Amino acid sequence: MSLFARGADPVGRTDTPIRVTVDGEPVAGIAGQTVAGILLASGRLSWRSTRSGAPRGVFCGIGSCFDCVLTVNGVPDVRACRRRAADGDEIRTQTRQEKS
């Protein structure tokens, strides 16, 4: 049981929904979320692979390690943990083979 009505936000936030595409698939998010936040909330734990095929996603979460890079609006190697998502962003996962 909750003290608040279902769907009511106890701090009164008014979140603005946004929509991005990830590898051509629409994914919903909230304005202000990072790309990594949207991907994690949608159930994706990895969105890049190494040369050996090992999966990578968020590791440090503060932009130091570059494990979470992907392509946003045609710009490669964007750190998903540092980039705030914008409505309409086109996001593509990266593989090591694309860099060759």
For 16-54, how does the pLDDT look when each residue is reduced to its tens digit (9 = 90+)? Answer: 999 999 999 999 999 999 999 999 999 999 999 888 889
Does 100 score more than 80 pLDDT?
no
Is residue 47 a contact partner of residue 28, using CB atoms and an 8 Å limit? no
Would you state the structure tokens that stand for residue 5, as one six-digit string?
Answer: 């009505």
Task: Cite the DSSP H helix spans in the chain.
Answer: 35-41
Domains of the chain, by residue range, sit at 17-99
3-state SS, residue 97:
helix
What pLDDT does 2 receive?
Answer: 53
Q: In terms of pTM, does the model score above 0.85? A: no
Does 1 score more than 80 pLDDT?
no
Q: What percent of the chain has pLDDT over 70?
A: 82
Q: Residue 61 and residue 68: Cα distance in Å, rounded?
A: 8
Looking at the domain 17-99, which fold is it?
Ubiquitin-like (UB roll) (3.10.20)
| Euclidean distance between the first and the last CA atom of the chain, given in angstroms as a whole number | 55
Which residues, listed in sequence order, are joined to residue 30 by a DSSP beta bridge?
17
